[in-house]
Amino acid sequence: MAIGVKVVRRPDSVSYLRATLKGMTLTFGHLFRRKVTMQYPEEKSEPGWSLSPRWRGTHRMLTDEQGRAKCVACGLCPQICPANCIKLVPGEDEDGHRYPLIYEIDEFRCVFCGYCQEVCPEEAIHVGVHYENAEYDRGRFVYDLERLCAQTHPVSSLWDPADPRGE
């Protein structure tokens, strides 16, 4: 089989000049466009931009009227969690009601898939519309039940197949 050889000519200096001008035109064009940078943390949203209601961030445990965690220690969320970051030790009171003796989520290991929220039969545990959970100490990322119940940020909306784009 014959081998064809294609000779590629080195660009001349006019080509370099044209490419440079094209790049500079693009760069200067951006000077006159609307700025999209927000001065975080002073600004966290602006008209036309805010976190999606489906954002999955820091967890929150919802409570009942008496302020008790809604969790009934069914064990589904630690079972489904792909990151194995939920620790649950179930307990039972004298009336046979189950409740979590220990319930902890390691936010550092969590991948924020939202499965725990989807699977919870009591709608107790939720991922939240919240991301400001930086810590200086690794251990502080393990949220115990008290801390999960004390969160007040909005909870995430689940994905709705009837409205796949969330509009």
What amino acid is encoded at 16 in this protein?
A: Y
Kindly identify the residues of this chain, within the stretch 13-52, that bind ligand SF4 according to CB under 6 A.
none
Binding mask 78-117 for ligand SF4 (x = CB under 6 A): --xxxx-xx-x----------------x----xxxxxxx-
Q: Return the closest-CA partner of residue 51 out of 141, 147, 153.
A: 153
What amino acid is encoded at 125 in this protein?
A: I
**Whole-number Å distance between alpha carbons of 70 and 68:** 6
Residue 154 tokens, joined = 């909005």
Number of residues forming the site for ligand SF4 (CB under 6 A): 28
Tell me which of 124, 129, 145, 148 binds ligand SF4, using CB under 6 A.
Answer: 124
Q: How far apart are CB 90 and ligand SF4 at their closest, in Å? A: 8
Check binding of 155 to ligand SF4 (CB under 6 A). Answer: no
**Cβ closest to ligand SF4, residue 25 vs residue 85:** 85
**Cβ closest to ligand SF4, residue 44 vs residue 116:** 116
**Whole-number Å distance between alpha carbons of 103 and 142:** 10
Check if the beta carbon of residue 156 is closer than 8 Å to that of residue 54.
yes
Check binding of 129 to ligand SF4 (CB under 6 A). Answer: no
Helix, strand, coil share (%) of the chain residues, nearest 5: 25, 20, 55
Q: Beta partners for 92?
A: 98
Residues near ligand SF4 (CB under 6 A): 71-77, 80-83, 85-86, 88, 105, 110-116, 119-120, 122, 124-125, 127
